[in-house]
Amino acid sequence: MWIAELSRRTDVPVPTIKYYLREGLLAPGEAVGATRSRYDESHVRRLRLIRALVESGGLSLARVRSVLAEVDEESRDVHEVLGAAHGALIPDDLTATVESRLRVDELIAEHGWLVFAESTDRILLAGALDALEKVGYHLDDDLLQVYAKAAAEIADAEVAHLPSGDRQSMVEATVLVTALGGPVLLALRRLAQQSASAKRYGSSHLPG
Amino acid sequence: MWIAELSRRTDVPVPTIKYYLREGLLAPGEAVGATRSRYDESHVRRLRLIRALVESGGLSLARVRSVLAEVDEESRDVHEVLGAAHGALIPDDLTATVESRLRVDELIAEHGWLVFAESTDRILLAGALDALEKVGYHLDDDLLQVYAKAAAEIADAEVAHLPSGDRQSMVEATVLVTALGGPVLLALRRLAQQSASAKRYGSSHLPG
DNA sequence: CAATATTGGAGAGTGGTACTCTCCAAAAGT
DNA sequence: ACTTTTGGAGAGTACCACTCTCCAATATTG
């Protein structure tokens, strides 16, 4: 298919596709003569993945680029991609106090989690705890435990539900679940918060 | 205190404070003469809240402005603020298919959640489910149930842990927990995912 | 065969966000 | 008298994610 059809199939404007090509987010099509290239299903797929990560996952193009690099790194197995993709999914200017880092390490040990030692998620989590402390809100240990337990249940279910198939599909599914499952989970949590708050501080105007 | 001290206390540069004043995110100080104003603890507090929402919560200034407007709306009780703040916390260009909306409504009904009928979270969630469908990944019903159950447990614990105090503190705590608890939860989930994946697809290089 | 449309490629331009800088005269501190 | 700080406002900057413009080289259509 030509670029116009690729655009139609994915609802991505031609100039944007050209931009992604220039930025190396999308592999060039097969050159046919000097002024046209043929694209295929893999381009449709990749373009949809990019848009999903950007629009729904809220990732920057730079982050998408890193994630795609991991997805395409054939030498990595599914599990390794998870760690690498996590690294690519999150910001890179991380700092955290020693206290929070220790708290995170303890939590991980306590739950018997097997985590890449150099995982940036450790520091990200410690930084998030610090941010709460900084505004004078300490996250209680038992609340943190509730979070951790819930996170473990969710993660187990997510990993168990990953479709088995060729490496490429599994890796894509992994990235998608991680990136797009986040918004789903947060939206559900907010709905549940409304409900919990309604039950506790009961309000008159709740048409259910 | 003068603006310089406010800057020192909060680690926010003076020009940025001036910018926030201009943008109406921060109330003006008490004018003392034509060329200086006095700031107090409430400004320190507010500035820290803004930075926490922006830096850790990842909110845009526009979103922060909406949230603060709800925080300052004295006529709203704690529960109402939650709904209103949720509305302010999330984007406003929401769309979702009828199918997903119905699925969300059913889920809410099934769990007996009391949710503002006009809650934007409903549509946000439906849209997130649509996004997954669009890339060919259907979120299984049992996985969605796991999410919902976990979300309910988390939300209950969060609401139960809200410190009781004056309205202002409770509202601020509510906003903070919602906005900053998200990153904490997502980071924990990623750590748990790594662990779940390690246990399932066992890899040789996991130094714990 | 002529007229029209499409393509790849590359550079320039746009719109939005969040600052950051510059300047000023008034006032305060020393 | 002199230096410093302030409020206020406008201009400038940096980054991001496009989006537009232009071109010559094809393809397609009548």
Q: Average pLDDT for residues B113-134, to the nearest whole number?
A: 89
Q: Average pLDDT for residues B122-140, to the nearest whole number?
A: 91
Residue A37, SS3 per DSSP: strand
Say how many C-beta atoms besides its own lie within 10 A of residue B131's C-beta.
23
Cα dihedral B201, A151, A100, B46 sign: positive
Q: Give residue-wise pLDDT tens across range B165-201.
A: 888 888 888 899 999 999 999 999 999 999 998 888 7
The values of phi and psi at residue A203, to 5°, are -120, 155
% of residues, chain A, pLDDT over 70:
97
Residue type for position A191: L
Is nucleic acid strand C under 7 Å from A36's C-beta?
A: yes
Say how many C-beta atoms besides its own lie within 10 A of residue A2's C-beta.
14
**What is the predicted pLDDT for the residue at A208?**
40
Q: Band the pLDDT of B49: cuts 50, 70, 90.
A: very high
Q: Band the pLDDT of A203: cuts 50, 70, 90.
A: low
Say how many C-beta atoms besides its own lie within 10 A of residue B61's C-beta.
14
**Spatial CB neighbours of A132, under 8 Å, sequence gap ≥ 6:** A138, A139, B52, B56, B176, B180, B184
Q: Does domain A1-56 have CATH number 1.10.1660.10?
A: yes
Q: Give residue-wise pLDDT tens across range A150-200.
A: 999 999 999 999 888 888 888 888 899 999 999 999 999 999 999 998 888
Q: Give residue-wise pLDDT tens across range A97-145.
A: 999 999 999 999 999 999 887 788 899 999 999 999 988 899 999 999 9
Residue whose C-alpha is closest to residue B147's, from A182, A23, A166: A182
**What is the predicted pLDDT for the residue at A83?**
79
H or E element in which residue B128 lies: helix B120-134
* Strand C nucleotides within a 7 Å radius of protein CB atoms: 6-11, 17-22, 25-28
Q: Average pLDDT over chain B, rounded to whole?
A: 89
Is nucleic acid strand C under 7 Å from A3's C-beta?
A: yes
Interface test with B, best of A125, A195, A203, A205 (most B CBs within 10 A): A195
Q: Average pLDDT for residues B108-124, to the nearest whole number?
A: 90
Residue type for position B82: L
Q: Which residues partner with B30 through β-bridges? A: B38
Question: What is the rounded distance in angstroms from the CA atom of residue B31 to the CA atom of residue B39?
Answer: 9
**What is the predicted pLDDT for the residue at B80?**
81
Q: Which residues partner with B38 through β-bridges? A: B30
Say if residue A87's pLDDT is above 80. Answer: no
Q: Where are the alpha helices (DSSP H) in chain A?
A: 3-10, 14-22, 41-51, 61-72, 78-89, 98-110, 120-134, 141-161, 167-201
**What is the predicted pLDDT for the residue at A118?**
78
**What is the predicted pLDDT for the residue at B167?**
84
Question: What is the rounded radius of gyration, in angstroms, for the C-alpha atoms of chain B?
Answer: 21
Say if residue B206's pLDDT is above 70. Answer: no
Pairing of strands B30-31, A30-31: unpaired
Find the residue closest to D21 using CA and C1' atoms: A15
**What is the predicted pLDDT for the residue at A207?**
45
Query: What are the start and end residues of each CATH 1.10.1660.10 domain in chain B?
Result: 1-56
Say if residue B204's pLDDT is above 70. Answer: no
**What is the predicted pLDDT for the residue at A102?**
95
**Spatial CB neighbours of A32, under 8 Å, sequence gap ≥ 6:** A38
Residue with tokens 């669009």: B134
Residue whose C-alpha is closest to residue B194's, from A187, A64, A189, A124: A124
Q: Give residue-wise pLDDT tens across range B57-102.
A: 989 999 999 999 888 888 888 788 888 888 777 777 788 999 999 9
% of residues, chain A, pLDDT over 90:
60
Residues near chain D strand, CB within 7 A: A 13, 15-16, 18-19, 32-36, 54, 60-62; B 2-5, 14-15, 18, 21-22, 28-29, 31, 35-37
Identify the residue with better confidence: B141 or B93: B141
Chain A 140-199, CB below 8 Å of chain B: which residues? 140, 142-144, 146-161, 173-174, 176-178, 180-199
Q: Average pLDDT over chain A, rounded to whole?
A: 89
Q: Band the pLDDT of A206: cuts 50, 70, 90.
A: very low
Say if residue B149's pLDDT is above 50. Answer: yes
- Contact check, Cβ <8 Å, A86/B140: no
Q: Give residue-wise pLDDT tens across range A67-83.
A: 998 888 888 877 887 77
Identify the residue with better confidence: B64 or B203: B64
Q: Band the pLDDT of A28: cuts 50, 70, 90.
A: very high
- Cβ pair A159, B51 in contact under 8 A: no
Q: Band the pLDDT of B27: cuts 50, 70, 90.
A: very high
The values of phi and psi at residue A38, to 5°, are -100, 135
Chain A 48-77, CB below 8 Å of chain B: which residues? 48-49, 52, 55-56, 77
H or E element in which residue B38 lies: strand B37-38
Say if residue A204's pLDDT is above 80. Answer: no
Residue B69, SS3 per DSSP: helix
**What is the predicted pLDDT for the residue at B203?**
56
- Cβ pair B155, A193 in contact under 8 A: yes
* Strand D nucleotides within a 7 Å radius of protein CB atoms: 5-10, 16-21, 24-27
Residue whose C-alpha is closest to residue A200's, from B108, B66, B175, B162: B162
